Amino acid sequence: MSTIAEKPVAAASAQKFGSSATQKLLAFGSLVVMLIIFSLATPNFFRVDNMISIMLSTAVAGVLGIGVTFVIITGGIDLSIGTLMTFCAVITGVFITNWHFPVLIGVLAGLLTGSLIGCCSGVLVSKLKLPPFIVTLGMMLIVKGLSLVISGTKPIYFVDTESFNLIAMGTMLDLSAIIPDFAIPNAVLIFFGVAAIAGFILNKTVLGRYTFAMGSNEEAVRLSGVNVDAWKIGIYTLSGAIVGVAGILIASRLNSAQPALGQGYELDAIAAAVIGGVSLSGGEGTILGTVIGAFIMSVLINGLRILNVPQEWQTVVTGLIVIFAVYTDNLRRRKG
């Protein structure tokens, strides 16, 4: 039975190569072109403080993008990741500030909260056979409301725990001896660490192989004897845990849990994944592509802001890029 089960998995794994590699190259090339254009357009773009700002803004959206990448590859979608990130931040704030638990306990509470909500979404999608769009839309509203209720609609500040702010804003990699004032914040290092672990899981583990297989042909995987429901729940749980990391990062960066923050982040995360080559049809995508997509989004917004382009036009440009990315994905699939 296990030999039969491996056939659709192997086929799905083979299918993800080729076009996805091309998409990554195109995305990376686009990133390089954008860097060149903005550096020529304004001398302020390649300043050290601006580069650090780009990396910091990429960290949170990038971690969210990594989390949603797993779900999208299965053929699903998760609209709750933005507000779930906020909910995890609020829970962390409640444990550390309101209940005076150690920082480590608060961080674990945030991660477990993300995992639990992700697990609930996975159960609703797999066991009740509800559309992921509807499930995660409902979950988005639920956790948004819970964030406001638990926090009393007020921000929770980490006033007595300076160490919490160092999780994101401290630095373990100070390159000031090479480049003056260039110290990479911990949030960026955590982002790259999450990306490395997620890439290993997606490419080197059974969970990763089943993620691609379910996105390519879920029914074939089910008929081959794989417990699709259990694996899908596991994928949503993993995605929720990664979102929990994003919640801790944004709370640490702001040194507060803002209950009204979060909605809209899911669009940036999904856009980063799609721009990086993750197919909304499922079965295709890479963590590296999502990381590149996240940097493209951050560089684009940062560059337009430095050029004094109005924010409303920044949003228009971002939307056009997302539509173009989906269009090129459809073209690749037709040719394939």
Cα separation of 260 and 198, whole Å?
29
Answer for the pair 81, 70: CB distance below 8 angstroms, yes or no.
no
Any idea what DSSP says for residue 102? -
Q: What is the pLDDT of residue 22?
A: 73
* Residue 76: predicted pLDDT: 96
pLDDT for the residue numbered 12: 45
| pLDDT digit string, tens, across residues 55-84 | 999 999 999 999 999 999 999 999 999 999
CA distance 90 to 248: 9
Distance between CA atoms of residues 51 and 37, nearest Å: 15
Given this model, what pLDDT does residue 3 score? 46
Q: What is the mean pLDDT of each run of 10 residues along the chain (336 residues)?
A: 48 51 82 94 91 94 97 96 98 96 97 98 97 97 97 94 94 84 93 98 96 95 95 98 98 96 90 91 93 95 93 87 80 70
Sign of CA dihedral 92, 98, 103, 106: negative
Please tell me the distance from the alpha carbon of residue 326 to that of residue 332, in angstroms, as a whole number.
Answer: 10
Strands, E, within the chain: which ranges? 156-157, 173-174, 183-184, 256-257
Q: What is the CATH number of the domain that holds 210?
A: 1.10.3470
Give tens-digit pLDDT for 255-275.
Answer: 999 999 988 899 899 999 999
Range(s) of the domain holding residue 93? 2-335
State the DSSP code for 155.
-
* CA neighbor of 72 nearest in space, from 332, 266, 295: 266
Count of domains for the chain: 1
Taken as a whole, the chain contains a residue count of 336
List the structure tokens of 169.
Answer: 């804003």
User: Alpha helix (H) ranges present in 16-47?
Assistant: 19-41
* pTM of this structure: 0.92
**pLDDT for residue 325:** 78
What digits encode the pLDDT tens for the residues 218-251? Answer: 999 999 999 999 999 999 999 999 999 999 999 9
Does residue 173 sit in helix, strand or coil? strand
Tell me the C-alpha distance between 285 and 71, whole Å. Answer: 11
**Paired tokens of 122:** 């996975």
